Amino acid sequence: MTGTPGQSKPAQGGAASGPTRWGPVFLDRDGVINRRRVGDWVRTPEQLELLPGALDAIARLTRAGRSPVVVTNQSGIGRGTMTRADVDQVNAYLTARVERAGGRLRGILVCPHAPNDACACRKPGIAMFEQAATAWGLDLTRATMIGDAASDVEAARRAGFANALLVTDPVEPYPASAPAPDREFASLAEAVDWLLSKPM
């Protein structure tokens, strides 16, 4: 699998430091942290348009000891529209912006495959969760996934943990045939309000 733990190294909350009080947080990237480019991918840092309040929401998670892991499907790599280096550059820029705002990402895991590659990591596949659990010693049973697509909800459902759907894209309504999300919010900020108030 080419999805590798991003720039960050295992740190607090790792297996060596014992069980954490709070469950891990997984964030989708496009449509959650930055605006999704409809019919295209974010191929350069200049194309990364951060959504209002997203950096602050990540900073709040970080201050609460819940630095999130980003899990993102980037099939533009597998389709030949962009390279892995393009995506790494965008993710390095995102990481820097998060840190400048006082937040921290444990890492960014990328599925680079096209849908017909039939990989295990492309959401709704759960291999990126398993990879994160191994890399950072996370207890997946207490995890929450925040995403803006049916594949995010379904991935969390398959992996057996909670999900929250962000309805940030009025263009493409959530498909009626997809599994109903546990919760729905209009922004990452609202989802984080909820996450930080729930006792798990």
Q: Which residues bind Zn ion (CB under 5 A)?
A: 111, 113, 119, 121-122
* 169 labelled catalytic: no
- Cα–Cα distance for residue pair 175/104, rounded to 1 Å: 32
Closest approach of Cβ 122 to Zn ion, in Å?
4
Residue whose CB is less far from Zn ion, 54 or 119: 119
- For 120-187, the three-class secondary structure string (H helix, E strand, C coil) is CCCCCCCHHHHHHHHHHCCCHHHCEEEECCHHHHHHHHHHCCEEEEECCCCCCCCCCCCCCCCEEECC
Establish if 86 lies at the interface with Mg ion (CB under 5 A): no
| Residue sitting closest to Mg ion (CB) | 31
- Assess whether 148 carries a catalytic annotation: no
- Amino acid present at 82: M
Which of Zn ion, Mg ion, none does residue 154 bind to, with CB < 5 to 8 Å depending on kind?
A: none
- CA–CA dist 185, 194 (Å, integer): 9
CB of 54 to Mg ion, least distance (A): 12
The correct pick among 10, 28, 107, 163 for binding Mg ion (CB under 5 A) is 28
**Residue (31 or 78) nearer to Zn ion, CB:** 78
Asked if residues 80 and 114 have their Cβ atoms less than 8 Å apart, the reply is no
How is residue 13 written in tokens? Answer: 């909350």
User: Under the criterion CB under 5 A, does residue 31 sit at the interface with Mg ion?
Assistant: yes
- Residues marked as catalytic: 28, 30
Contacts with Mg ion, residue ranges (CB under 5 A): 28, 30-31, 148-149
